[in-house]
Every structure is written in structure tokens, then in C-alpha cells.
């Protein structure tokens, strides 16, 4: 079952007001000028990656599809627009029957991208496309930033699983989106139940320091938890003295204790000491989970430590220092009239300060070397070279207003693993650098 179809309570009733006001004023003016129905092409891209990052990760595409389907103007939304005189009555009448009827193409979710990559292309009338700008950018900028951070952390973690646990560090709905994006980027589970409910992501969790402090002794707390959850549970061992807690944990749960969690201190040193102690006590199968303000650099520093899993919160849901991807949504082509047969004309803003863009509807392909390793992102507006025809990146997402590319989240996750694996090895190095492959314009 696709939980996206259930209309769960973490959704909002309409996405129509996840919009900046100038979308509506442009709509009103274009309706009055007779230009609203001109066929138009908008593209989402970023001019640069966040400083030091080697690649970006496309995430949030599935949520964009949901948002476009849910972009509806019911009586309450129209009443708000009327009450605050956002637009005039003819525009309100037009909005009342709004349905996106155009086409959307884009990089499939989980794919990697680079500066200039046409990550998403929205085609239709100017009026119906321009209204989607803010909600599309809101989703893609947020989710792609989280997924990029998650991808770097997953690369640093190697085969060790990662737990997303940042819900308490962000907005409640952002927490759900963050858990989804983290799963795309390589995390294996989340502590956030709304994300598990909405997207069927595996959920985990046992206890916090408060549970230990509630009881008269640490032993009492461990006994209560094991009695309730079984010996395979994870016991938090750094409330008081770690060595004493580990000893007590094995005494209470036995050598079949599932795991211990360390949430403070010098994690590298403590993990080695705890592993030695567990082995000496016969709990050789007990895993060690570490948390405590981890990021990709901290995870990498623990590569040689006897750690079995990581829990990451704040740094993940804030993009590990880069909470946005700076994606933009720009008009790149439009017809000279409302005639459906009128040819598209490339258009582009001319600007100082690095904000220029390239006009024309674009295709994208990734050229690989003889070993199948990516060597360039090729973007063009003319015919696709024959040698790149089979390596095009964009897929059809919405056709004639109907979603045609909704897919399971596990497929998206696997796509990202494959896409990252096809990049040069330096892509996953944590040292700062330029994009791992260049963008070439054909």
C-alpha cells in the first residue's frame, strides 16, 4: 500500500497557499494583459553547490508530485485571498477551477546533480506554471539539502547503519520531510513516528536519560526496560558512570543484551573501553550505538572505533551547515502568443553578480569514461548527441497534469546508492573541493 494515498494527518489540506504573494499578482497582471495562456517552460537548477560540496542529491520529488496534485483553491483559500484583496474577482474565478494540466520532467529522485543541472522542468501555460514556483523550491531546496548531508554521513559510515533522530531540532512537519530525505540519502531508520506512519520508514527508539533518572537506581531502570522490551533492547549507559552501567546492564539483561548507547564524552575513547568491557563480560554480540551531536566529520573520525551504529539529529536536519541548495525556478522559454502551435522562444535574465541564466528548454546527460565512471554533466538545448542519447537524466514525472512516475521510497534510496557509486571516488571525500565532475554546455 502506498501511504501517500491515505491522506494522513501529517499532510495539509491544500498546498495552494505555500506560495509567495507575487505569484498571484503576476497571475492577475498576465490574465489582464492576455499573456497568461502563453506556453512556457520553467526550470529548476542551482548555479553552484554549497561551499566545499562535491555533488548534490535530488530529493523531495515525490513530495513535489503530491504538492502539485494537492494545489487546489477551495472556498476557504479563496475567501482568504478575497478578504485580504490579494487578487481581483476575475483572478479568483480563474483560481477556483485551477488544476495543473501541464507536463513536468526532472532528474529522478535520488539522482545526483551539479551546477546548471536542469533538475526539474515545468511546462504549461505561464499562469499554471508560475503559481508552483515557491512550493516546488520549498520542497526541493529543503529535502535535497538534508539528503546531501545524509549522503555524506552515509558515505562516512560505510556499512554501519544510521538512525535519523532530529525531530526535536526542527519544525514538526520539517521533521517528517527530513526523515524521508535522510532515508533517500542512506539512513536506515528514524525515531520520528509520523515519518514511519507517512512513508513506512523503519522506526526505532528505546529510552532517554529521563527514564533512568525516574527510577531509584540505574539497575531498577534497566530491569524495568528489559522486563518491558526484552534483553534485545538498547540500554543507555552514560547517565552516571559508564563502566558501572555496562556492568549492570549485562548483569540485568545477560550476555544477549542487544546494544548499549553512548550519548556523551570522548566517543572514540569510550567506545573502545566499552567494547573491551562487553567482551570481557561475555557480551560479545552486544552492539554499541553512539549519538551526541554527530556530523559526517565526527562519523568519519569514528571509523576505526568499535561502533555498530550512529544516531544523528541536529546536524542532519539542518543540512550539516548547508540548510538550502540555493535552487531557483526560472522561465527559460515561452511562446509569443497563446496559440498552442506557436514556437517557443528562449528567454533569459541578464544580470550582474553571477545571477545570469541560460535560456532554452534543456536536456541533460552524464558522460562516463570507459570504466563507467562519470566524467562530465552535459547540458544542452539543441539535438542530443547520439553518443549521449542513452545517458539522458530527465524522466517524465507528470504528463497532462497526471502523475506518471510515483515510486516506492526504497527504489529511490537504491537509485541514490547507485548514482553516488558511479561518481569518481573523490566524490565522497570530506575534504572541501569543487564539484567532482564539471558541467559542460553543448
Q: Are strands 162-164 and 120-125 parallel, antiparallel or unpaired?
A: unpaired
Is 212 domain-assigned?
Answer: yes
Q: What is the pTM of this model?
A: 0.94
Asked if residue 309 and residue 187 are part of one domain, the reply reads: yes
Asked if residue 72 and residue 40 are part of one domain, the reply reads: yes
Is 413 domain-assigned?
Answer: yes
Asked if residue 236 and residue 104 are part of one domain, the reply reads: no
Helices and strands counted in the chain (H then E): 15, 18
Q: What is the DSSP string of 155-216?
A: HHHTTS-EEE--GGGS-HHHHHHHHHHHHHHT--EES-HHHHHHH---B-----HHHHHHSS
Per-residue pLDDT tens over the stretch 327-355: 999 999 999 999 989 999 999 988 766 77
In this predicted structure, what is the pLDDT of residue 11?
53
Distance CA 71, CA 60 (A): 16
Asked if residue 36 and residue 184 are part of one domain, the reply reads: no
Residue ranges of the chain whose pLDDT lies below 70? 1-13, 352-353
In this predicted structure, what is the pLDDT of residue 5?
47
Residue 387 lies in domain: 3-131+327-441
Is 139 domain-assigned?
Answer: no
Max CA distance (Å), the chain: 80
Asked if residue 202 and residue 170 are part of one domain, the reply reads: yes
Q: What is the CATH number of the domain that holds 17?
A: 3.20.140.10
Is 287 domain-assigned?
Answer: yes
Is 355 domain-assigned?
Answer: yes
Count of structural domains within the chain: 2
Give phi and psi for 364, each to the nearest 5.
-145, 145
Q: Are strands 39-45 and 328-335 parallel, antiparallel or unpaired?
A: antiparallel
Distance CA 38, CA 334 (A): 7
Asked if residue 301 and residue 206 are part of one domain, the reply reads: yes
Asked if residue 311 and residue 181 are part of one domain, the reply reads: yes
Asked if residue 94 and residue 192 are part of one domain, the reply reads: no
Distance CA 111, CA 391 (A): 13
Is 145 domain-assigned?
Answer: no
Asked if residue 80 and residue 38 are part of one domain, the reply reads: yes
Q: What is the CATH number of the domain that holds 249?
A: 3.20.20.70
> CB-hemisphere CA count at 13 Å for 163?
19
Is 144 domain-assigned?
Answer: no
Is 368 domain-assigned?
Answer: yes
In this predicted structure, what is the pLDDT of residue 13?
66
End position of a domain, from candidates 318, 343, 374: 318
Q: Which residue has the cell 527530513?
A: 178
End position of a domain, from candidates 259, 289, 318: 318
> CB-hemisphere CA count at 13 Å for 359?
11
Asked if residue 234 and residue 97 are part of one domain, the reply reads: no
The answer to whether 15 and 98 are in contact (CB under 8 A) is no
3-class DSSP assignment, residue 3: helix
End position of a domain, from candidates 297, 318, 339: 318
Asked if residue 249 and residue 200 are part of one domain, the reply reads: yes
Asked if residue 302 and residue 180 are part of one domain, the reply reads: yes
Amino acid at each position: 500500500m502506498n501511504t501517500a494515498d491515505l491522506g494522513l494527518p501529517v499532510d495539509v489540506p491544500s498546498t495552494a497557499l505555500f506560495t509567495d504573494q507575487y505569484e498571484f499578482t503576476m497571475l492577475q497582471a498576465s490574465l489582464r494583459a492576455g499573456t497568461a495562456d502563453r506556453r512556457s517552460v520553467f526550470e529548476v537548477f542551482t548555479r553552484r553547490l554549497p561551499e566545499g560540496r562535491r555533488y548534490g542529491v535530488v530529493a523531495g520529488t515525490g513530495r513535489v508530485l503530491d504538492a502539485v496534485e494537492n494545489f487546489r483553491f477551495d472556498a476557504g483559500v479563496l475567501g482568504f485571498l478575497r478578504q485580504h484583496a490579494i487578487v481581483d474577482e476575475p483572478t479568483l474565478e480563474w483560481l477556483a477551477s485551477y488544476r495543473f494540466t501541464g507536463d513536468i520532467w526532472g532528474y529522478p529522485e535520488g539522482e545526483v546533480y551539479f551546477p546548471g543541472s536542469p533538475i526539474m522542468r515545468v511546462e504549461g501555460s505561464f499562469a499554471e506554471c508560475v503559481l508552483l514556483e515557491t512550493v516546488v523550491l520549498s520542497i526541493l531546496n529543503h529535502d535535497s539539502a538534508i539528503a546531501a548531508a545524509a549522503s555524506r554521513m552515509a558515505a562516512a559510515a560505510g556499512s554501519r547503519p544510521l538512525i535519523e533522530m532530529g525531530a526535536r531540532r526542527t519544525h514538526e512537519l520539517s521533521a517528517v520531510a527530513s526523515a524521508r530525505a535522510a532515508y533517500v540519502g542512506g539512513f536506515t531508520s528514524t525515531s520520528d513516528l509520523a515519518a514511519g506512519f507517512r512513508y513506512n520508514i523503519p522506526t526505532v527508539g528505546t529510552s532517554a536519560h529521563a527514564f533512568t533518572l525516574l527510577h531509584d537506581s540505574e539497575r531498577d531502570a534497566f530491569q524495568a526496560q528489559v522486563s518491558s522490551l526484552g534483553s534485545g533492547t538498547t540500554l543507555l549507559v552514560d547517565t552516571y558512570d559508564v563502566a558501572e552501567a555496562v556492568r549492570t546492564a549485562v548483569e540485568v539483561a545477560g550476555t544477549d543484551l542487544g546494544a548499549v548507547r553512548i550519548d556523551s564524552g570522548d566517543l572514540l575513547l569510550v567506545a573502545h573501553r566499552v567494547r573491551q568491557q562487553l567482551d570481557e563480560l561475555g557480551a560479545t554480540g552486544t552492539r554499541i550505538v553512539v549519538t551526541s551531536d554527530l556530523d559526517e566529520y565526527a562519523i568519519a573520525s569514528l571509523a576505526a572505533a568499535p561502533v555498530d551504529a550512529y544516531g544523528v539529529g541536529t546536524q542532519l536536519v539542518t543540512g550539516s551547515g548547508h540548510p538550502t541548495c540555493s535552487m531557483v525556478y526560472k522561465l527559460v522559454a515561452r511562446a509569443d502568443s497563446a496559440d498552442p502551435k506557436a514556437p517557443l522562444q528562449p528567454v533569459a535574465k541578464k544580470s550582474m553578480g553571477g545571477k545570469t541564466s541560460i535560456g532554452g528548454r534543456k536536456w541533460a546527460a552524464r558522460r562516463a569514461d570507459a570504466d563507467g565512471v562519470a566524467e562530465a554533466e552535459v547540458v544542452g538545448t539543441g539535438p542530443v548527441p547520439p553518443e549521449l542519447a542513452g545517458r539522458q537524466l530527465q524522466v517524465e514525472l507528470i504528463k497532462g497534469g497526471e502523475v506518471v512516475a510515483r515510486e516506492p521510497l526504497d527504489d529511490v534510496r537504491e537509485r541514490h546508492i547507485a548514482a553516488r557509486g558511479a561518481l569518481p571516488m573523490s566524490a565522497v571525500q570530506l575534504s572541501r573541493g569543487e564539484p567532482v565532475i564539471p558541467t559542460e554546455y553543448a
